[in-house]
Amino acid sequence: MKHILNLTLIIFLSCAGISCGKLELGGGGTPTSPNAPGGSTGKQFNYIFKEKTEGYAVFRIPAIVKTKDGTLLAFAEARKLASAGDSGDIDLVLRRSTDNGKTWGPIIMVWNDGANTCGNPVPIVDEITGEIHLMMNWNNGEDTYGEINNLTAIDTRRVFYTKSDDDGLTWKTPLQITSSVKNSNWRWHGTGPCHGIQISEGTFKGRLVVPCYYYDGTNGKTYSNTVVSDDHGLTWKIAGTTPQDQGGECAVTELKDAKLMLNIRTNAPNRLVTTSIDGGNTWANLSTDFSLVDPQCQGSLLSYKTNNDLSLFFANAASAERVNMTVKQSLNEGSTWAKVFTVHTGPSAYSDLVKISDQEIAIVYEGGIGRPYEGISFEIIKIADFK
């Protein structure tokens, strides 16, 4: 296992030992995988990652960002086995689009550590430097969630960081930062998964914020928390933790006046929400948003700012089961969700959202006909289509 590295002493190396494919085809890359018909729903999937392709059984856990140069970067876990969960041979990959999702370039390998697990992508675009930061998790491929929490695993759950300074074409050798962002009594740890943010105004302007969660070995409870960097990814530290447990996979966004929001998966049938007024250093008591029904699955969050207006979008499988991928729009920072767009009524699970233009957002989501994990589809949604 690699030694824990202090980022303040690291000079980033080029992608030695990692297949970082520099190919970018003319005309915006290669077309996406052929659309898959949606059975009785009539849904057409625009799969950018499709099961049983590229030597992988399944692609899961999408995340997406738009770079300063306007390139879309769509990340996913490429899993050699379809049913291994957060263990087994998992690589972290991405595809790029330079034409707002019309076409996508070939798969780029971000991180392949042999038979071990590399996943939970949380990309953040640095609007100041133009770099793309990426937080990830690692565990021994033979270790399961239960074994890690019970201290019967070969290794533990670790946290790594990498970045790209060429618009996502190549990535620096991943650096382990576990000791900086995970306390010794935390066992399982999860970054995101989905995009993180950079605070755009206020005291903490420029801060990079990563939503995370962890299992506390001292009391057997799970909490959500934030990890931050105030020096453009050079160093990272633990910021605030939710005051109550029952947290899990979470998404973060910036509201008005630099206020932050976490939207959290829990074991209950509805999402949990909390806010921070100090850049994620502390979080208010958790509250339940009873209008956001959830099947105990990951969800994604996006703030969409135009001039002085802010719309908040939330995407999840809005059901008691993993079906009905839906995006909801709030015009009052999540107090109510007035408008809805149904993406796919059938099997669906994890997702992420990105702003495309002043009139459009886009979603990447796991969806299929017989099961949610048949592929990761990309779809553009016009704001005017929310009803």
Q: What is the pLDDT of residues 128-138, one digit of tens each?
A: 999 999 999 99
What's the confidence (pLDDT) of residue 228?
Answer: 98
Q: Which among 45, 98, 109 is positioned nearest to 378, based on CA atoms? A: 45
Q: Is the dihedral of CA 96, 100, 101, 103 positive or negative?
A: negative
Is the per-residue pLDDT at 42 higher than 70? Answer: no
- Position 113 scores a pLDDT of 98
Cα–Cα dist 291/318, whole Å: 10
Average pLDDT of the chain to the nearest whole number: 91
pLDDT at 360: 96
Residue with tokens 């390998």: 109
Structure tokens at 223: 């909490």
Rounded to an integer, what distance in angstroms lies between the CA atom of residue 252 and that of residue 35? Answer: 31
3-state secondary structure the chain: CCCCCCHHHCCCCCCCCCCCCCCCCHHHCECCCCCEEEHHHCEEECEEEECCECCECEEEEEEEEECCCCCEEEEEEEECCCCCCCCCCEEEEEEEECCCCCCECCCEEEECCCCCEEEEEEEEECCCCCCEEEEEEEECCCCCHHHHHCCCCCCCCEEEEEEECCCCCCCCCCEECHHHHCCCCEEEEEECCCCCEECCCCCCCCCEEEEEEEEECCCCEEEEEEEEECCCCCCCEEEEECCCCCCCCEEEEECHHHCEEEEECCCCCEEEEEEECCCCCCCCCCEEEEEEECCCCCCEEEEEEECCEEEEEEEEECCCCCEEEEEEEECCCCCCCCEEEEEEEEEEEEEEEEECCCCEEEEEEEECCCCHHHEEEEEEEEHHHCC
Contact 105, 32 (CB under 8 A): no
**Terminal-to-terminal C-alpha distance of the chain:** 51
Give the integer Cα–Cα distance in Å for 253 and 333. Answer: 10
Other Cβ atoms closer than 10 A to 309? 9
Predicted pLDDT of residue 306 = 81
The tens digit of pLDDT for each residue in 286-314 reads 999 999 999 999 999 999 988 788 999 99
Residue 92 — φ and ψ, nearest 5°?
A: -105, 125
Mean pLDDT of 187-209: 97
Instruction: Tell which CATH architecture fits domain 45-385.
Output: 6 Propeller (2.120)
- 5-9, 46-50, 247-251, 360-364: which has the minimum mean pLDDT? 5-9
pTM for the model stands at: 0.90
Measure CA 258 to chain center.
Answer: 21
Single out the residue of 330, 324, 358, 355 nearest to residue 342, CA to CA: 324
Maximum separation of any 2 CA atoms in the chain, in Å? 57
pLDDT at 365: 98
Write the single-letter amino acid at 364.
V
Of 239, 238, 250, nearest to 122 by C-alpha is: 250
Residue 147 has pLDDT above 50, yes or no: yes
Which of these, 140, 340, 342, 120, lies nearest to 250 by C-alpha position?
A: 120
Q: Which two tokens stand for residue 130?
A: 């133009």
Whether residue 222 is predicted with pLDDT greater than 50 in this model: the reply is: yes
Mean predicted confidence (pLDDT) in 218-246:
97
How far apart CA 358 and CA 8 sit, in angstroms, is: 38
